[in-house]
């Protein structure tokens, strides 16, 4: 079959926004703010930023550099270089994306459904018990869950089938600025909320709760482990997407600077998400220790239900979370589509819908596992976990860390630090500020593999 001309990003800003869109996801909204509040506020932020700089950024840059060096997706690229064993980096990353998307799209579907419901005023005056019942009733309806999941898959498939430049890049050039405007607008609204009679808390109390530093927490190993895990999964290493995105870059692009900008945008979004959430929680007397599904689907609807124009703000919030999930989903779908289209020499448009179909089929047991009383899938357990939770565990706690470790070992002992530095610095003068420096060598070569082994041990055991 004749070799197809490779697609790619049309501009530097297009790459940055697409990569940032991939990094900014659901975890920025419902996990990072909670961890910051729990583990010392500003002290956790400091730990997180340090880990992003010294662990997340070198790994992310390493994956981008591998992709740019090969000018191919990781499976085909390693085969071409006669390093067939290392093509596992591509296979594991692409399959991890498929497993992850089996449950991730279900969650995005929740956000779409709640954005629509919010406009109808359903949360006005609601209590925590009512929103909990509302969410549980939704979970018991697998047909509605699947319907919203289909909508998400269709929207993702239509974008990816159009290609990188016309699909992913064009959408992210619009969606990332919109995300920025939405989250800043919500943050301003949260900071300007008036105290409520009977509660006696101000928005500033919420901000202090969120960010006041407790530096004694920096001596707690858990703080560093949780910051490590959040950085690792938020930036999106170990999932093949960064390698694929890197393969679309030109040799004149400033990779270190672009990677740093992506990590900065991801971290900034997560920080601002906490400003949206905690002042509102404190002002309306909600539990600031809420996290995850309970925070977004049960607590926040009550908070918005008490606000003036609450239906509008609730809808804006859920649209924000849905769009953040969608832009991440573009990256999670792009990786397997690009890898398999290259390897099997199938047209991108055709491979897109093949991969979407596989993901959709796998999403069915994930959705049904949440619906009590709807067949064996709702009670079936894998390693003591529901099918939904097992998909999360397998992709996030096993496959992604293994893949990231393989990338780190490849950089350390095959590409070697000299090759890593030369590729990352390609096109940059010796005096350029944004360069990988020689003093990175001990850390990149030996430190990162050790840290990743620690993450794997902690996640699995």
Q: What pLDDT sits at residue 133? A: 92
> Tell me: the pLDDT tens digits for 19-68?
999 999 998 988 888 888 788 888 898 999 898 988 899 999 999 999 99
Q: Which of the residues in the chain have pLDDT under 70?
A: 1-5, 291, 373-374, 459-461
Q: What pLDDT sits at residue 304? A: 94
Show Cβ contacts of residue 104 under 8 Å, excluding neighbours closer than 6 positions.
26, 325, 328, 329, 332
Q: What pLDDT sits at residue 460? A: 65
β partners of residue 385: 382
Q: What pLDDT sits at residue 372? A: 74
Q: Which of 137, 153, 105, 135 is nearest to 388 (CA)?
A: 105
- Distance separating alpha carbons of residues 95 and 67, to the nearest angstrom: 18
Give, in words, the CATH class of 12-460. mainly alpha
In order, the DSSP letters of 182-242 are HHHHHHHHHHTPPP-TTT---HHHHHHHHH---GGGGG-HHHHHHHHHHHHHHHT-SSSHH
β partners of residue 382: 385
Q: What pLDDT sits at residue 2? A: 42
> Tell me: the pLDDT tens digits for 331-380?
999 999 999 999 999 999 999 999 999 999 999 999 999 887 667 787 88
Judged by DSSP in three states, 400 sits in helix
Show Cβ contacts of residue 254 under 8 Å, excluding neighbours closer than 6 positions.
427, 428, 432, 434
Q: What pLDDT sits at residue 32? A: 87
Q: What pLDDT sits at residue 39? A: 86
Exposure of 422 in the CB half-sphere (CA atoms within 13 A):
6
> Tell me: the pLDDT tens digits for 419-434?
999 999 998 877 777 8
């Amino acid at each position: 079959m004749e070799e197809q001309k490779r697609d790619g990003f049309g501009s530097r800003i297009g790459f940055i926004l697409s990569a940032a869109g991939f990094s900014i996801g659901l975890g920025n909204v419902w996990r990072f703010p909670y961890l910051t509040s729990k583990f010392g506020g500003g002290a956790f932020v400091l730990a997180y930023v340090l880990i992003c700089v010294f662990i997340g950024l070198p790994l992310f840059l390493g994956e981008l550099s591998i992709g740019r060096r090969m000018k191919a997706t990781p499976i085909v690229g390693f085969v071409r270089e006669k390093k067939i064993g290392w093509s596992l980096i591509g296979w594991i990353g692409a399959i991890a994306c498929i497993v992850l998307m089996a449950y991730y799209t279900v969650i995005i579907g929740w956000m779409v459904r709640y954005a629509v419901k919010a406009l109808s005023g359903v949360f006005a005056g609601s209590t925590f018990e009512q929103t909990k019942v509302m969410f549980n009733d939704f979970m018991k309806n697998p047909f509605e869950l699947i319907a919203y999941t289909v909508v998400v898959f269709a929207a993702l498939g239509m974008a990816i089938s159009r290609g990188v430049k016309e699909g992913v890049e064009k959408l992210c050039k619009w969606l990332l600025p919109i995300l920025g405007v939405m989250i800043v607008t919500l943050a301003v609204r949260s900071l300007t909320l008036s105290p409520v009679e009977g509660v006696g808390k101000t928005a500033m109390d919420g901000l202090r709760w969120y960010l006041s530093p407790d530096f004694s927490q920096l001596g707690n190993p858990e703080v560093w482990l949780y910051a490590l895990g959040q950085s690792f999964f938020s930036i999106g290493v170990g999932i093949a997407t960064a390698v694929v995105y890197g393969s679309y870059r030109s040799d004149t692009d400033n990779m270190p600077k672009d990677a740093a900008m992506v990590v900065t945008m991801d971290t900034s979004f997560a920080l601002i998400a906490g400003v949206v959430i905690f002042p509102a929680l404190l002002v309306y007397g909600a539990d600031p220790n809420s996290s995850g599904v309970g925070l977004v689907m049960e607590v926040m609807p009550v908070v918005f239900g008490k606000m003036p124009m609450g239906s509008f703000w609730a809808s804006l919030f859920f649209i924000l979370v849905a769009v953040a999930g969608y832009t991440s989903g573009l990256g999670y779908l792009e990786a397997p589509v690009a890898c398999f289209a290259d390897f099997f020499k199938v047209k991108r448009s055709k491979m897109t819908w093949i991969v979407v179909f596989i993901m959709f089929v796998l999403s069915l047991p994930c959705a049904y596992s949440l619906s009590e009383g709807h067949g064996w899938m709702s009670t079936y357990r894998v390693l003591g976990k529901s099918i939904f939770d097992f998909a999360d565990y397998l992709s996030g706690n096993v496959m992604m860390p293994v893949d990231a470790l393989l990338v780190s070992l490849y950089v350390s002992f095959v590409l070697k630090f000299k090759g890593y530095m030369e590729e990352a610095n390609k096109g940059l003068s010796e005096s350029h500020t944004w360069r990988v420096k020689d003093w990175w060598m001990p850390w990149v070569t030996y430190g990162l593999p050790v840290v990743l082994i620690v993450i794997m041990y902690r996640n699995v055991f």
